[in-house]
Structure 1
Amino acid sequence: MSEKNFVKSETTRNSLHELPTSCGVYLLKNQEHHIIYIGKAVNIQNRVRNHLQGDSSSPLKRDMAEEIITIQFILTRDEAEALLLEEELIKTHQPQYNIRMKDDKSYPYIHFDARGDFPAVKIVRRKTAQPGFFYGPYTNSKKARDGLKILRQIFLLRGCTIPESRFPLTRPCLDYELKLCCAPCIGKCHISEYQDKIKKARSFLEGDYLEVTNWLEEEMWKAADIEDYEKAAQFRDHLDCLLNIIGRYRLVLPDNSDIDFIELESESNLASLVVIKVRKGRLIGIENFHAQSEENADRDYILNEFIENFYLDHFNPPAKICVQFNFNHNLLKRMKEKGYTSSIDLPCNTSELDLLHFARENAQKNLELEKIKTIRQNLDYQQFMNELKTLLSLSSFPRLIEGVDISTFQGDESVGAIVAFFDGFPLKKRYRKYIIRDINHSDDFAMIEETLTRHFKKLIQSQSEFPNLLVVDGGIGQLNSALKVVQTFSLPISVLALAKENEEIYLPGKSVALRLPAENPSLQFLQRIRNEVHRFVITFHRVRRNKKMFHSLLDDIPGIGPQRKNLLLSAFDSLTDILDHSPQEISRQLKIPPQSIIEIQKKLSQEKLTSEKKGMPS
């Protein structure tokens, strides 16, 4: 099952024509894949193009334009939804170049308190740790408040903060006189009756609103028929306020759940998958993937394969994975074997169903974009393959291309890596990682030699196909190291090196480096291979350094023995992840004393500061 390649869908700054021209939110990322700016637009392609022109009078905007490397997008149904999603994501990720929306101001929610027999309902500005259910947020604060007032007039709910311990009171407050409350504080409403009102009000906000809106509309027209236009206008305003509440932002959950929503759209042999990530009830991100599948492959099969690939091999799953397909129950068993307590289930309420619909809408739109992109890529592929063939004097198209790179940090945990592309697409099953064995290697060149020597030996032993072309990340020195190994094995492989500094291409026997225009498709394809192998090897290197540091760091923490150490190592992919959670949260989930977690976070912060001062790995 793991043979399929699920490729993350992102657009580079050189491929703006691949961006959608519809409404949504866009995320601009730098070389390190950090989000540096989040914005919304009616036309995403045009807005991003404006950012990249970099001709603004603002130095800040010019700096941002220079840093942009890739663009991710989330499509929404209208501008209002894009506005709310933009705010959520900015507050979550705090991008460097976003100035507004970073403070703690936010759009209003309607909050149903969960405490007591007669819980109050009120407007709040943020979802906090207080118990209860949240509905919203709403873009129009005044209409949300007016809508809540109508809701209280219909269902007669408390809005005060008087503690129930003081019940019964001698007289009700003004809300009772204004017909906004049923006055449980003086015994005018029984517990079961009030709870029924709460249930109906929540059902109304969750979508069961037809009966109430129909009644308001009927009353409005009745008043108009008898020419009581003032009363008709009141009913019209009431209806308007309630319709505003009904049109709530659908991309949040009423509780503090951690859920991933996964949807798929496929056509022929192309599949588009979307993962919506919700943490503590708020949408914090979206991941888009596409895959080449078998012709008309079964939807359930692709989704099962994706979940296995996504969670068992790459990411820690949340408490719940929400899907709408027949999932393989062996997946749950394997997840439990890895120590995860996640569930895979269908949506259990309207809010979860809304988010799944949102995921599917994005999957549908992404599939259309991928189809267009694939057609263009096939045309471009033939063009730049012809160009590469001529450039390197090849007898045929280089269908199988491999990239090689190494990574080290002051000689520590040195590693090498190989990536492969077949017919222009990443071939993940041929990706390889190598730990440099010879600790006496003093330079990058010797490490490239070791990596390629071991790689070619494995290909010979397994009788696997050799690449038609080898792309080396580096300059003339790295090129000569790769050529030395190719010549040692007498392999019919063409070799070139691509240097980052000026994007120069070094070819065997050529004393002068080749420079192609930045918009040249062949150069962009070679850059894609070079950047992919660099990403792959850097990630492998960081994982090894983190694990080594984590092991040595944990040895010195009181209360952390072998069992707890393994528990922490399996729960967190990266060292820095542990700094993103409170000690109490980690303690509750992993059953480790909070004081031990605090000590770990202190040491991690010190190590992180030291690493930043020394610099990053090459």
Structure 2
Amino acid sequence: MESLEDVIRRAPTSPGCYVWMRKPITKDKQANQKQEWEEVLYIGKARNIRKRLQQYLHSKDYKTRFFIRQAKHVDWVVTANEAEALLLESNLIKKYSPPYNIRLKDDKRYPYICVSTGEMFPRIFITRRRKNPAHTYFGPFTDVKAARNVMSWIQKTIPIRQRNTKLPSKKPLTPCLNYHIGRCLAPCAHKISQDEYAKLVEQVIDLLSGNFEKARSKMFNQMQEKSKQMKYEEAAAIRDRIRDFDLVLASRKADVESGQDHDNFDVIGVYGNLEENIFVEEEIPVRKNIFQAEVTLLRVRGGNVVNKASLAVSEYTLPISTESEQKKEITKLMSEILESCFREFYWDLPDLPDKIILSERLFPASLWEKLIKRKWQKEVQILLRKSAGEKESLVQMAVENARLTLRERLMREYTRRAKLGLKQIQEMLKLPKLPETIECYDISNIGGKHAVASGVMLKNGIPYKAGYRRYKIRTKDTPDDPAMMYETLSRRFARIAKGEIAPPDLIVVDGGITQLKAALSARDEKNLSIPIISLAKKQEEIYMEQGEILQQDKNSPGMKILRLARDEAHRFAVQYHRLLREKISDSRQNAANR
């Protein structure tokens, strides 16, 4: 099998796309012109394919080095120019979803509003898949509730049918309740012609496209036409629809830059950061060097914010390097995220704005402008926030929305994992109830001197700082961790026995069997029945009261919670011990200076 260096040496110097794969292509597949790549790792584009591939072999980038170690083959497709390469790259990424390309999570789950323009009498409904190319789709919406709100708004103003009935029917059908309450004109009962119904469909599409004034103008002209034809009842019905339209529109009006700007534009705000920087003050554990990001899209049509969409980005592990190198890597990631957004938001969406304002730099911005013009025959200007002028406040709003959505999503994910972990702990330790409150204790001293203990509390798997306690050891000044643990828990259990504080659902002590026996002795003296275990550091072994020793997967959700409690107790004890030593040292220094 050829080495990667040999394969790259014969790569063309033309523009095009390249595909890194985990699996080499067999001779049979090479001979097949319609071959399908297998186990695709990464897809990229380049002005010079050979030069770009050679850079991969000598890259210092963490992600690049990681997937190159897995790559067994690389293939390429030559294109006429860079714009063609970007077009091909977008199609290939959508088809193969490579793991090392930036991915937007759950992109196929977001709901769309469909107007079934492929039918003679179109209806309006919510769907999560764009199956029929003859239909017209609007979205994606952030959730079903947002889509239903828009649906309700449309139904209040335009009586388009909703039921999934095959039309036209040979014989008139019996109208449903929607007809009797004015929400449908009953094409199923042959009460409206196809031409008249088509005018309603146009108005629906105008509204969903953000062309509110155009839709209202069409309704107004239709009302006047009916009035001239002396069809006063139909004219009155349209008048009522215009009134409802004005009321609903007034409630949805957005104050977009003092209400004077009626451009059609989109704002894309991206927020990305390391977990430890996202949660600075919150009492939840964070993973080091994990990059998380969120995207918020605001669609503004005719001066109205008509849709807000949020998409999560797959997490990414940054290399442990200098702060400047991490910043450079984050800048690169932000640009890749924006490329993914363009593939998701604008590749198959006909509702294109005049401008797209970005919070971060999109490096092939000019190529995307050419590509959009080529596909949709529409000029779209891509701007950075510094060129947004008065609209910069909307960019800030989009970024802030992305930040808040990201925090909420990560908190929700952690809470879900914590619930699963607590359930695992209950089953693993055979506890009578879910350990919603866990306390953990540790000792810190040097040769028995300045000995202290710490007690930390976790509520629902999350550190609860109000429940943290520090103890000075009073009875020992020689190395004896079990005796110190006995003293600490005796003091704690005395308060529980008196009813001063509520007992926890589980107590964890940092150490082995001797620390566990000391804790059990302190508990039994107070006639309490709180479950106690000890957790040893080296092998991550759990010592049970009955003498059983458990070894579990240290990365399971349950063990992660127990290790978090143990490590947090250790950190808190060491912190207090250092603080105490510094105070003693300072007091001795002050005494010597007198």
Please classify the TM superposition score into its range, dividing by the shorter chain length. Answer: 0.3 to 0.5
Under a length normalisation based on structure 1, what TM-score does the superposition of the two structures give? 0.35
Tell me the TM-score normalized by structure 2: 0.36
Higher gyration radius (CA): 2
